[in-house]
């Protein structure tokens, strides 16, 4: 399960804003960001998509969050 890992990463990285969207309650967001599978992680830097992936891959999530923190 990725949920506890995600929640722990949010606590350990207060400089990064973490959020969740329930696509059952917000189909508009799912369509806008072309989400076809869950979980889908989309990382933004300001208004630009920094990275995205689908699946419960802890190493991919850690890498993208680290990359995001290191970007200007």
Tell me the per-residue pLDDT of 5-61, one tens digit each, with 9 for 90 and over: 999 999 999 999 999 999 999 999 999 999 999 999 999 998 899 999 999 999 999
Q: Is pLDDT of 72 > 90?
A: no
Per-residue confidence (pLDDT) for residue 71, from 0 to 100: 87
CA distance 11 to 15: 10
Domain 3-70 of CATH type 1.10.10.60: no
Per-residue confidence (pLDDT) for residue 42, from 0 to 100: 97
Per-residue confidence (pLDDT) for residue 25, from 0 to 100: 96
């Amino acid at each position: 399960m990725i949920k506890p890992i995600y929640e722990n990463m949010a606590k350990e990285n207060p400089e990064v804003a973490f959020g969740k969207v329930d696509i059952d309650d917000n189909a508009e967001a799912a369509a806008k960001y072309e989400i076809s599978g869950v979980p889908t992680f989309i990382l933004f830097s300001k208004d630009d998509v920094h990275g995205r992936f689908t699946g419960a891959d802890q190493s991919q999530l850690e890498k993208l969050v680290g990359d995001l923190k290191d970007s200007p």
